[in-house]
Amino acid sequence: MTLGHTRLAFFRQSAAAVALASGLFGASFAAAQTELRLHTFVGPSHIIFTNILEPLAAEIAEASGGELTLTLYPSMQLGGGAPQLIRQAQEGTVDMVFSLPGYTSPQFPRTQMIELPGLSEDGVASTTLMWELLENGYLDPEFDGLKVLALWAADDAGIYTREKPIRSMEDIAGMILRSPSAAQAGQIEALGGTPVAMPITELYPQLERGVIDGAMVPFTTILDFRMHEVANYYTLTGPIFGRSQFTVVMNEDSYNRLSPEHQAIIDNATGIELSRKATQAYLDRADESVAFVRADPSKEVIEFSAEEQARILETLSPIYAQWAAEMEAQGIDGRALLAVAGVTLD
């Protein structure tokens, strides 16, 4: 009888010890693993998703031995619309987002300088300029509560249309064109067109139904959003309309909660080098997209001559002074920002 009680007590103590050990191990394991969530409007086949975001997630997991993971949520799977993504990151609804500052232009007046006409010769130069502005604190007020993991410019903004080709500046007059941001909307207006603000995810049905005539947009969208199915004329405009900016940002509190080791992994995997890689991904995709529609006999690719580009830039040149005045009205030294880009106003 005594032996039975002794054995029972032993088994109870052993079970309690195992449970305690399991609990401690489980808690330790849970604490060691951290999942970050990245939300975006693009689908899983988009060039940035496949060439930038998925490799970023893989790099983070490998560098941390699986302790830090980045889960990607494409196509607005966590709810909301594309213009809400930056706020979702700021509020901590998600840890990271990939989005466009242009979707909420009033929040990013300084960053929108990149969309001034003819400011930079290509996307690489624009990306370098943005990082110079960022690293010297010029853009800090616009990314309050956020850590910028990547910030880059796309390929040149071109114009594609459904029914009427654009062969010269005059052809834009009277057309209803989707604009990616407030800055580029001003350029459309200056050329006599009517801009319509619209996320890229809404462009296909609006163009298909003839609600709009066309769009000012990076040509990567031809393949990434199947625009070759609804647009017929593609005008390569050169660098005259500026470029959209793209960013991957992280909630500052989410970053600060990470261990120093995990913060270092994030830092090493992101920054200007990731931004340059993303820029090149866009440039390569744009070339592929243009080649695709050139090969389709039912489509036409039009290129503005150097003379036509110069004519348009002359027409758009007052926008610089207008932009500087708008910045001054907001208490922003726009002339100092332009000076970083090598531009001085009379």
The dihedral built from the CA positions of residue 239, 241, 245 and 246, taken in this order, carries a sign that is negative
pLDDT at 32: 53
pLDDT 10s digits, 11-23: 444 444 444 444 4
Asked if residue 25 has pLDDT above 90, the reply is: no
Q: Same domain for 58 and 144?
A: yes
In a domain, 190, yes or no: yes
Question: Which candidate, 146, 122, 151, 156, places its Cα nearest to that of 134?
Answer: 151
In a domain, 201, yes or no: yes
In a domain, 235, yes or no: yes
In a domain, 16, yes or no: no
Asked if residue 255 has pLDDT above 90, the reply is: yes
Q: Same domain for 166 and 138?
A: no
Q: Same domain for 48 and 84?
A: yes
The CATH number covering residue 41 comes to 3.40.190.170
Average predicted confidence (pLDDT) for the chain: 91
Q: Same domain for 261 and 325?
A: no
Q: Same domain for 176 and 308?
A: yes
Provide mean pLDDT across the span 48-76.
98
pLDDT at 2: 42
Q: Domain count for the chain, please give it.
A: 2
Q: Same domain for 67 and 141?
A: yes
pLDDT at 5: 47
Asked if residue 186 has pLDDT above 60, the reply is: yes
Least confident of 141-150, 226-235, 236-245, 266-275: 236-245
Q: Same domain for 215 and 336?
A: yes
Question: Which candidate, 84, 118, 119, 121, places its Cα nearest to that of 104?
Answer: 84
Q: Same domain for 173 and 49?
A: no
Question: 77 lies in which domain range?
Answer: 35-153+244-283
Q: What is the pTM of this model?
A: 0.85
Q: Same domain for 182 and 274?
A: no
Q: Same domain for 231 and 320?
A: yes
Q: Same domain for 197 and 320?
A: yes
pLDDT 10s digits, 93-134: 999 999 999 889 899 999 999 999 999 999 999 999 999 999
In a domain, 27, yes or no: no
Q: Same domain for 70 and 88?
A: yes
